Chain A
């Protein structure tokens, strides 16, 4: 190998694009796991088995909370269900293959059914975000209390009531358990890492970062959450089944708050959203905890609690997150000594793939019709009957003073569940009572006033996710060549976004954020595009890019609704102008007529003519 090639390889390693460090780490872990039994006493081997099981439980929790942003305060419910079902199965069916198979399958099935029921209630309704925490906590408490029932019902004949359920499933030696759980942990860790690094993993991080925006990009957020919640519950049930059958015991504590809190603490300290952190954390805490608390039980709780609080305040990404962040700050120093590497993420310009329904020949054809749109908040009527017609190939500008209802108009059109009354016809289809994702998939794109982005995404992630238009991407592959239609490619080249594809969104300048906001809406390849002050805060130079681009889009048959304050900008690019005042469209017409009309002067300047 030449020196240059070696330096290039090193450069790639340092840039963390290579899988080598992660595989190396995993290799070290596997080797350590393989030699540990010959080095440590049976006592520690026993602790390791329990730690491995807890690590699997922690993975299930990290997928749900660290990646998808769903905080379950009662994840022990699923762990305990796995444990109890295998226990009941062993006592009722015996400890043969039948008892084991039905026990495991039944536990997973039970957890999946519970997760589907709870998730359906929590995700498919307009409840407050805290509701999922309330209902998972409730589930764990209810189950643990029912399991502790010793009288009143026949339940305790099966569960053993308050004293728990002793059963014998296997007579395997500890070493067998060690290998079984160890291998299961390695396999699950690898699978989880592949999943979170895949394109699907990117979508999950989008749910965590900004589920609302993801919905406006066409993603069915409730279904995504329900999927991960169910998957997480199934893994937790497997861990619970292993735990109970290893200890030959299932007690109400398995379902209770202590177990739920433990997994939360392990994942927080290890590092949420890292998979490796929770696994390492579970093993270390699982070894140190019992060793210390055998001698000083209360002091261990104190130390663990204090560490947990300190991590939450000072290192929200946990210890593993802190380590990787530290590595990232060192990287530029190393990189200076190493050759610059081409970014791995590339934008690949493609044709506009979505059908354009209004072709150039049909310019002026109606794409969307808003009839008598009304929106009230209690006694406050923001929209009092708005009628508008969006035509293919034209830019319709909505102007009006602050509080006229311009943003509300965009909001009710893109989330028609919010509509108090009225009719939205889009492409011949009635679109009322639909959530944002359905409307986005019908070809309605929007931008937000200010910006509304996924902050931990890179620019490339954002464009990729937007371009998928809500279809669920690969569970294992990660796309590096991001297909992008010409319009977005042009915009990104002109605004410099194309040069920063690997930069995190939270590190972008305001102008680039606005450009990304618009790029994401365009990557959806909409037929109707609703823009809420897309040039606010842009420099004149940046503004001079947006105007012609919008004209270009219109020329291709898209219908654009533009909310804008800058009347010069409006004059320069708009076909028609609608004046919104106190929730009504006061006048619609060609730009010169409307802007110069006495009505506009009266509304804006208060001059009676």
Chain B
């Protein structure tokens, strides 16, 4: 049955969908993993990155430029948001959820005011298909697979093999202790948020050519990214596994039924997975677990008392 349903094209669809999901979720995962903050403005940051890509296209620049520009716009926006908003809410994770939901709405409103609500079309930097020997497949979607692999490798390398990753992990494990060892934990948090926002911008620039670009486009991406990050919980390896599995499942269900039913797949799988494995995939032994973005025990999202109404 499976053999009949999955041909080479479909297999590549499943792979590239997983890769795309990994790219979309990575910025959210970095912020959640290192700061224990769920950034609900992630979808709107993706949207802003996509508009950056659209502006590049509108100025007839090379489409490849969209990627670094998306990153730069995300980082800059991340800096402003961290200073104005996130910094004031450290230790109030539930209020951070609310504030970032509000931020998302603000970004949607601003983009609607500046660029209007209509769809924008953005060209791909790579058109046509590549011949893989066994199949011909969209070159841009294959590029996304390569990009996701590179992104995974860099994230894994930075968190596990560099001094930067070590410092960041020290701050997560015990911020006070890290600060007494001369680590500027505020700077670590600020940079983490900026990088996370930058990755959202890159994701936006990368999806712009294959999706519709309009102010509300981020909502569905946010939901998918949020679900995958909840399942991955704290490890880079877990994020890759969750993205590949769920992306493949979504693609397969879409193929069998309709895109709407397909879009529900990730949500349903997440609700079930988290019920069975409260710590998500980080409870499994996965590559990157020892260099987890976040230690498994300890700093879970606290229950409301921390920022309960006083």
Contacts and interface: CB of A to CB of B under 8 A. Distances in A.
A382 to B, nearest CB: 13
Interface residues of A, number: 54
Contact of B106 (A135, A149, A212, A305): A305
B297 A377 contact: yes
Contact of B301 (A121, A130, A306, A313): A130
* Residue from the set B38, B300, B302, B303 with the largest chain A CB neighbour count within 10 Å: B303
A370 interface: no
A272 B99 contact: no
Interface stretch (B123-131, B161-169, B198-206, B256-264): B256-264
A138 to B, nearest CB: 4
Given A125-B278, A299-B113, A313-B89, A149 B261 contact: yes
B270 A134 contact: yes
Interface string A270-305: 001100000000000000000000000011011011
A246 B301 CA distance: 41
Contacts of B302: 129
Interface residues of B, number: 50
A455 B103 contact: no
Interface string A120-143: 010001111111011101100110
Contact of B270 (A125, A138, A145, A264): A138
Interface in B37-78: 38
A268 to B, nearest CB: 6
The secondary structure that dominates the B interface is helix
Given A71-B94, A268-B98, A298 B303 contact: no
Given A127-B275, A212-B303, A273-B309, A152 B88 contact: no
A130 B38 contact: yes
The secondary structure that dominates the A interface is helix
Nearest to A302: B109
A317 B95 CA distance: 11
Interface string A142-173: 10011011011000000000000000000000
Given A141-B223, A298-B109, A152 B305 contact: no
Interface string B92-120: 10110111011101101110110000000
Interface in A558-585: none
A64 to B, nearest CB: 12
Given A71-B94, A455-B305, A298 B112 contact: yes
A319 to B, nearest CB: 13
A133 to B, nearest CB: 7
A376 interface: no
B85 interface: yes
A309 interface: yes
A138 B303 contact: no
Given A127-B274, A146-B264, A305 B102 contact: yes
Contacts of B309: 66, 208, 272-273, 316-317, 321, 456
B91 interface: no
A148 B227 CA distance: 21
Contact of A69 (B105, B267, B271, B304): B304
A484 to B, nearest CB: 25
28 contacts: A69-B304, A128-B279, A128-B300, A129-B300, A129-B302, A131-B274, A133-B97, A134-B226, A134-B270, A137-B223, A138-B268, A148-B260, A149-B260, A151-B258, A152-B258, A209-B304, A210-B305, A257-B219, A268-B98, A273-B309, A298-B112, A302-B113, A305-B102, A308-B98, A312-B89, A316-B307, A316-B310, A317-B310
Interface of A: 66, 69, 71, 121, 125-131, 133-135, 137-138, 141-142, 145-146, 148-149, 151-152, 208-212, 257, 261, 264-265, 268, 272-273, 298-299, 301-302, 304-306, 308-309, 312-313, 316-317, 321, 377, 455-456, 506
Given A145-B260, A305-B102, 15 more contacts: A121-B271, A121-B275, A126-B278, A127-B278, A129-B302, A129-B304, A130-B38, A146-B264, A151-B258, A209-B308, A210-B305, A298-B109, A305-B103, A316-B95, A456-B309
Top-10 shortest CB links A-B: A305-B105, A302-B109, A309-B102, A301-B109, A305-B106, A308-B102, A69-B304, A138-B267, A298-B112, A127-B278
